[in-house]
Structure 1
Amino acid sequence: MSGGKYIIAVNKEAKANYDIIETYEAGIVLEGSEVKALRNKQTVSFKDSFVRIEKGEAWLYNLYIAPYKHATIKPPDPSRKRKLLLHKREILRLMGKVQEKGYTLIPLSIYFKNNKVKVEIALAKGKKAYDRRQELREKDLRRQLERELKSGKLKL
């Protein structure tokens, strides 16, 4: 595991519900038992998780990390808010962008990089319901075309 990037969990709903504009890599402040839980591939859930900037610091809310089974001390709250480690200029830039209408910060994935836990966060804009429906229609059409090409019914 030393060296490369080892993905622990991915937020699959993010790309379906948001248009990703920019991505950032951030460190995350965790307790020892949380890191052990991540190494043991325990449950990680991004449901309703988001990033908020408060008093010049970035915080990750509602990221669920299942408690480590063999922890000797009382495990921390699995959905507690966790501090993200970003450069000051990145935080200021994100703060300016988030104040614009419609922009939000969401976590995309959590992974190990050089034995440190990192979170990929994205500056995103929420998709409207009709955008998602249109995307699904296009996906179905592509799938149907590929099926017809494969079966030989449609000739180019």
Structure 2
Amino acid sequence: MSKQRFSNDINIRNRQASFEYELLDKYVSGIVLTGTEIKSIREGKVNLQDGYCYFSAAGELFIKNVNITPYAQGTHYNHEATRERKLLLKRVELKKLQSKIEEKGLTLVPVRLFVNDRGFAKMEIALARGKKTHDKRQSIKEREAKRELNRIKL
């Protein structure tokens, strides 16, 4: 029994995002990748923690600081780990997001990276507002209360 190297059910989450931000609206976008990047994603070697999205001068959406580990069997064609990657959304969605981003305190953060049933890598991004310290404390209290209820039920 050998372990399959490339998994079919990739679902990489940014759990820190829901703690640091209040997620207002979610979008699923395509992502432009090179050949070795998709192989690393299928191996599950991705870190979304420091990632953020921004708009270029041409109105295109890019994601920065998402670490996709270089592919182990890659040659000199291997990719740079934290390069900027273009996100693919419909023009209407891009304009809507760009107008929302210009509001004070809103940002776009990566929430989840997954491979759909057709084999394409997709990025779920969320329009988010940063939480204050007291909001984070409230989140911790709610999480601990939920754990206590689960312990009692078991």
TM-score range, shorter chain: 0.7 to 0.9
**Map of 1:59-138 to 2, 5 A cutoff?**
59-113=62-116, 114-138=118-142
Q: 1:98 to 1:67 in 2, by over 3 A?
A: same
Query: Structure 1 unaligned runs (5+)?
Result: 152-156
Helix, strand or coil for the counterpart of 2:113? strand
Q: Please state how far the C-alpha of 1:145 moved relative to its aligned partner.
A: 5.2
2:52 is matched by which residue type in structure 1? Answer: F
Correspondence for 1:26: 29
**Map of 1:28-43 to 2, 5 A cutoff?**
28-41=31-44, 43=45
Correspondence for 1:10: 13
**Greater gyration radius:** 1
2:49 is matched by which residue type in structure 1? Answer: K
Cα distance in 2 for partners of 1:35, 1:13 equals 23
**Deviation digits for residues 8-60 of structure 1, max 9, x if unmatched?**
3110101111111111111000000111111223x211121001011210000
Q: 1:141 to 1:73 in 2, by over 3 A?
A: same
Helix, strand or coil for the counterpart of 1:14? helix
Cα distance in 1 for partners of 2:147, 2:115 equals 35
Q: Please state how far the C-alpha of 1:142 moved relative to its aligned partner.
A: 4.1
Aligned residues: 145
Identity of aligned residues (%): 37
Helix, strand or coil for the counterpart of 1:138? helix
Q: Greater strand percent: which structure?
A: 1
Cα distance in 2 for partners of 1:36, 1:143 equals 37
Q: 1:133 to 1:112 in 2, by over 3 A?
A: same
**Deviation digits for residues 73-102 of structure 1, max 9, x if unmatched?**
331210000000111111100000000011
Normalization by structure 1: what TM-score?
Answer: 0.85
Correspondence for 1:154: none
Kept after mapping to 1: 8 A contact 2:11/2:112: yes
Q: What is the Cα-based RMSD across aligned positions, in Å?
A: 1.8
Kept after mapping to 1: 8 A contact 2:115/2:122: yes
Helix, strand or coil for the counterpart of 1:20? strand
